[in-house]
Amino acid sequence: MAATVGLELRVRAYLAGDPFRDAGSQRLINRLRVRLHADLVWLTEVPLPILRDLRAWDAMIRGVGWRLAVEAETVLDDIQAVERRLALKQRVGQIDHVLLVVADTRRNRRALASAPAAFSGFSRDARRVLRDLAGGAGPRTSAIVLL
């Protein structure tokens, strides 16, 4: 269409994502970060090991001999979609365990309580998970933590 009126069309592509949209997630994962043992390595926006795949883990915690992927959810609207997304990322990301950090709100607590079978392979013992990470210990399983 541009050529028909004597114009040259130029298009530039940019990565999607507004940094302000992620502000809530950043605050949420920072609440986790301050609880970690000082010897643990903390990385953010860790890409999946697939060429041209734009997906990334929100964070990654590394200790001696282990890695724990971290995903932050400020609002649980569709639990099945979150489960599916985490399962796919876990499989292609070659990660043994995932820590799902969920904002501790009445709405999110109600969503998790209404789906007790959801996240079946995830521990819901947040105290143990946080205690282990504060002590520098590796994950025993995937887990959900409300913060």
| pLDDT over 90 at 36, yes or no | yes
Rounded to whole angstroms, how far apart are CA atoms 74 and 124? Answer: 17
What pTM does this model have? 0.84
| Confidence at residue 105, expressed as pLDDT on a 0 to 100 scale | 97
| pLDDT over 60 at 83, yes or no | yes
| Confidence at residue 4, expressed as pLDDT on a 0 to 100 scale | 85
More confident call, 5 vs 79: 79
For the chain, which residues make up each domain, given as ranges?
22-146
22-146 CATH:
3.40.1350
| Confidence at residue 122, expressed as pLDDT on a 0 to 100 scale | 96
| Confidence at residue 21, expressed as pLDDT on a 0 to 100 scale | 63
Listed in sequence order, the residues at least 6 apart from 25 whose beta carbon sits closer than 8 Å to its beta carbon are: 58, 72, 73, 74
Rounded to whole angstroms, how far apart are CA atoms 58 and 71? Answer: 5
Mean pLDDT for the stretch of residues 60-89: 95
